[in-house]
Amino acid sequence: MSACKHQYLIPNVQHSSLDPPGVRPQLTFQFKPTWLPLTRKDASAASEYEPYVTLPRILIPILGHPLRPPRMRYGWIANEDVLVELAKEFDCIVMYNDCPYFLDDGDDEDLDEEERNVTVTRVYDTSSPEQAILTARYNPDKFPHESEGRYAARLAGWDVLRTMQRVVELVGEEVPATQDRLALPGALFHNRAPSMVSVFTNYDLTSDRLPDADDLDKLARRLGVQGKPRWFLDSIHWRWHDNGQPY
C-alpha to C-alpha distance for 54 and 18, rounded to whole angstroms: 4
DSSP structure class, residue 180: T
- pLDDT in the model for residue 196: 98
- pLDDT in the model for residue 236: 95
pTM for the full model? Answer: 0.79
Residues 177, 30 contacting (CB under 8 angstroms)? no
Residues 146, 78 contacting (CB under 8 angstroms)? no
C-alpha to C-alpha distance for 5 and 153, rounded to whole angstroms: 53
C-alpha to C-alpha distance for 167 and 90, rounded to whole angstroms: 7
Residues 47, 190 contacting (CB under 8 angstroms)? yes
pLDDT, averaged in runs of 10, over the chain (247 residues): 53 87 92 90 96 96 89 98 97 79 44 43 45 54 90 93 97 94 97 96 91 96 96 97 62
C-alpha to C-alpha distance for 45 and 161, rounded to whole angstroms: 26
Per-residue pLDDT of 176-227, as tens digits, reads 999 999 999 999 999 999 999 999 999 999 888 899 999 999 999 999 999 9
DSSP structure class, residue 222: H
C-alpha to C-alpha distance for 196 and 181, rounded to whole angstroms: 13
C-alpha to C-alpha distance for 189 and 186, rounded to whole angstroms: 9
C-alpha to C-alpha distance for 119 and 50, rounded to whole angstroms: 40
Q: What is the CA radius of gyration of the chain?
A: 20
